[in-house]
Structures are given as structure tokens and as C-alpha cells.
Structure 1
Amino acid sequence: MIDLVGINKYYNTGDEVFHVLKDVNLHISAGEMVAIMGPSGSGKSTLINLIGFIDKKFEGQYLFEGESLVTSDDDKLSKIRNSTVGFIFQNFSLIENNTVYENVELPLLYGGYKRSETGELVEAALKKVGLEGKGEKYPKQLSGGQQQRVAIARSLIMKPKFIIADEPTGALDTRTSEEILTLFKSLNDDEGVTLIVVTHDPEVVPYCHRLIKIRDGAIESDEEVIII
């Protein structure tokens, strides 16, 4: 599904040039659940911005399902991103003044759906993440784990080809983290959802098929996870 070939990324700051990604080669197949780990400043965020079609200024080749999309104009790339990638963030990134239903519905409206067409899709997504009947509540009325489930439902609503989860358990306690990771594993095993999980938490790794370690902008190791 995803092929990065000889990727280099530079940032210019005044007179200085920072080499942020260094000769990155990476393949992720459909149906995989992959963990990406690395210290702060290692290039993780830059890498997932690139994979998620947010950043298209780099050297090298990014092939998605065999096709390079980086030459697409911003409008087209935005539409591709909305229909192809689901994003989940550490801080949930929910709109506080919108109900749970409205938060989950938003990508559909961006994607051109009419409000009259969204009901069944939103309810199905909420049911999938165990939030049936919570649509009229507001984020502040929910626990952290429930808010992350809303974010997961929102990420699934467009039936994306893959999901990027950036520190999805970072703001959660141990028990809630396990529940969210079990949900991820279920989505991956039962529905074939491709997941790329960026994390500092070693507890995430056993749920994944592969562990990719990145340091100083380069991939340090890429190994299958052996679950004992």
C-alpha cells in the first residue's frame, strides 16, 4: 500500500538547513498494524505528516498503491486525504461545542455528503466503537477513553485505506489504554483496518505486527513483533 523510497526531508531556518528525514525506505502493506517509535525530535511527526499527505515537500518517492500523488494540487490532495486517511491524536482533537454525533459526522460533510445521508453511517460508527446512544452528548460529558473512541469513530467514518494514530494512549490511564488498544486490534483483525501507531509507550508494541524505530531522522530498525 505505502512505499517510501529514498525519502529525504530538509527544513530551512534562516541560514541553517536541517536534514530531518535521511534516506528513509519503508513499505507498509494493507492490513498491517505498525508501531513507529523514537525519541522526541527523531522525525516521527515529519514522517507521518508525509505519509498522511499533509507534507508533500520532500526528496524521493512516495508511492501509494503504486501511484505517486505528490504532484496533485492542494485541493485534490485534501480530498484524497479526507477519503484515504483517518487521523487519531493524543488530545482527541474534538470540537467541544459540537455533539459526539456532529464530531463524527464532520468528515462526511467535508466529503460532500448531505446531512440527510449521514445518520446511519454515524450511528454505525458509534456502535462500532461502543458508543451507541451517546450521539447527543458533548465531549466534556465523556471520559478520556470515551472521547478517544469518538475520535476513532470519526477516523473510521469515511472508510479510509489507513489510519494514523499519533500517541493515541498518551493522555489515557493504563486500563483505558488497554481498552483502546484492544479496539485497535479488533478493527485490524476483524475488519482489516491498516493502522500506523506512533508511540512512546512500549505497551503498544505487542498489539502490532511490526516495530519501526526511528532516530535522528533515519530508520534504525524494522522488525516483526513476536508476541509471547
Structure 2
Amino acid sequence: MIELKHVNKYYRNDEEELHVLKDINMSVEAGEMIAVMGPSGSGKSTLINTLGFIDTKFDGEYLFEGENLVTSSDDRLSKVRNQIVGFVFQNFSLIENNTVYENVELPLLYNGYGFHETKERVMDALVKVGIADKADKHPKQLSGGQQQRVAIARALINQPSFIIADEPTGALDTHTSTEIMELFRELNRKESATIFLVTHDPEVVPYCDRLISIRDGAIIEDRAVIHE
């Protein structure tokens, strides 16, 4: 589904040139659940921004289902991003004044759906993440774990080709983190969702099928996760 070929990324300023991604080669099949690990400053955020079509200025090739979408116009690229990628963030990034329902509905409205067309899909997404009974609540009325479930439902709503979850358990306690990781694994297995989990928490790795470790801008390890 995804292929990165000799991807290099540089940040240049007047004094120096920073080489932040170094000859990244990566192939991802649909349905994989991948942990992307690395310390702060390792390049994992830049890699994820590249995968998510947020950062498109790099050397090398990014093929999605055999097509180089990065060369598309900005309009097409933002449409592609909205349809192909679902994002889940550590801080949930929910709109406080909107209800749970409205937060999850928003990407559909961006995609051109009318209000009358969204209800079934929104409720279906809320059922999948186990919070259909919270549709009329506002984010501040929910626990951290429930807010993260809203964020996951919002990421799922456009039936994306893959989900990028950036430190999705970073703001959660241990018990809630386990619940959220179980939810990701269920989505991966039942819905065949392709998921990238960006983390520095080794406890996330056993939930995944594959581990990609990145350090100093280079992939230093890419291996299957052995389940006991």
C-alpha cells in the first residue's frame, strides 16, 4: 500500500543544513499495525508527517498504492489527506464547544456530506469505539480515555486507508492506556485498519505486528513483533 524509496529530508537555514530523514526505505502492506519508536528528536515526527501527506518537501519517492500523490496540487493533496489518512493526537484535539457527535461529524462535512447524510456514519463510528451513549456530551464532560475514543471515532469516520496515532496514550493513565491499545488492536483485527502508532512507550509494542525504530533520522530496526 505504501512505499518510501530513498526518502531524505533536509532543513536548511543560513548557517547550516540539518539532515533529518536519512535514506528511508519502507514498505507497508494494508492491515499492518506498526509501532514507530524513537527518542525525541529522532525524526519520527518528520517521518509521520511525510507518511500523512503533511510534509511533502523531501527528496526520494513516496508511492501510495503505486501512485505518487505528493506531486498533486495543494487542493488535491488536502482532499487526499482528508480521505486517506485518519489522525489521532496525544492531546485529543477536540473542539470544546462541539458535542461528541459534532466533533466526529466534522470531517464528513469537510468532505462535502450534507447534515442529513451523516447520522448513520457518525453513530456507527461511535458504536465501534464504545461511546454511542456519549453523543450529546461535550469533551469536558468526558474522561481522558473517553475523549481519546472520540478522537479515534473522528479518525475513522472517512474510512481512511490508514490511521496515524501520535503518542495516543501519552496523556492517559496505565489502565486507560491499556483500554485504548485494546481498542486499536480490535480495530486492526476486526476492521483490518492499517495503523501507525508513534510512541516512545515500549509497552505499546506488543500490541503491534511490527516495530520500526528510528534514531538520528535513520531506520535502525524494522522487524516483526513476536507474540508469546
TM-score band, normalised by the shorter chain? Answer: over 0.9
1:186-216 Cα shifts (integer Å, max 9, x gaps): 0001110000000011110000000000000
**Structure 1: how far apart are the matches of 2:171 and 2:14?**
35
Alignment of 1:22-37 (within 5 A): 22-37=22-37
- Kindly state the Cα deviation for residue 227 of structure 1 after the two structures are TM-superposed: 1.2
Match of 1:60 in 2: 60
**Structure 1: how far apart are the matches of 2:117 and 2:91?**
29
**Structure 2: how far apart are the matches of 1:123 and 1:190?**
18
- Kindly state the Cα deviation for residue 15 of structure 1 after the two structures are TM-superposed: 2.1
Alignment of 1:123-162 (within 5 A): 123-162=123-162
Match of 2:16 in 1: 16
**Structure 2: how far apart are the matches of 1:200 and 1:97?**
32
- Kindly state the Cα deviation for residue 13 of structure 1 after the two structures are TM-superposed: 2.3
Which amino acid is 2:109 matched to? L
Alignment of 1:49-198 (within 5 A): 49-198=49-198
Match of 1:219 in 2: 219
**Structure 2: how far apart are the matches of 1:97 and 1:45?**
29
- Kindly state the Cα deviation for residue 70 of structure 1 after the two structures are TM-superposed: 1.1
Which amino acid is 1:207 matched to? Y
Match of 1:201 in 2: 201
**Structure 1: how far apart are the matches of 2:221 and 2:133?**
44
**Structure 2: how far apart are the matches of 1:226 and 1:125?**
31
**Structure 2: how far apart are the matches of 1:132 and 1:61?**
41
**Structure 1: how far apart are the matches of 2:19 and 2:134?**
46
| TM-score in terms of structure 1 length | 0.99
Which amino acid is 2:111 matched to? G
Which amino acid is 2:182 matched to? T
Identity rate, percent? 70
- Kindly state the Cα deviation for residue 122 of structure 1 after the two structures are TM-superposed: 0.5
> How many residues are aligned here?
228
Question: Any idea what SS the aligned residue of 1:67 has?
Answer: coil
- Kindly state the Cα deviation for residue 14 of structure 1 after the two structures are TM-superposed: 2.5
Is there any run of 5+ residues in structure 2 with no aligned partner, and where? none
- Kindly state the Cα deviation for residue 136 of structure 1 after the two structures are TM-superposed: 0.9
> Over aligned residues, Cα RMSD in angstroms?
0.6
Alignment of 1:40-51 (within 5 A): 40-51=40-51
Is there any run of 5+ residues in structure 1 with no aligned partner, and where? none
Which amino acid is 2:89 matched to? F
Question: Any idea what SS the aligned residue of 2:71 has?
Answer: coil
Question: Do residues 7 (structure 1) and 7 (structure 2) align?
Answer: yes
1:22-53 Cα shifts (integer Å, max 9, x gaps): 00001111000000000100000000000001
- Kindly state the Cα deviation for residue 12 of structure 1 after the two structures are TM-superposed: 1.2
Question: Any idea what SS the aligned residue of 2:70 has?
Answer: coil
Runs of at least 4 residues off by over 6 Å = none
Question: Any idea what SS the aligned residue of 1:175 has?
Answer: helix
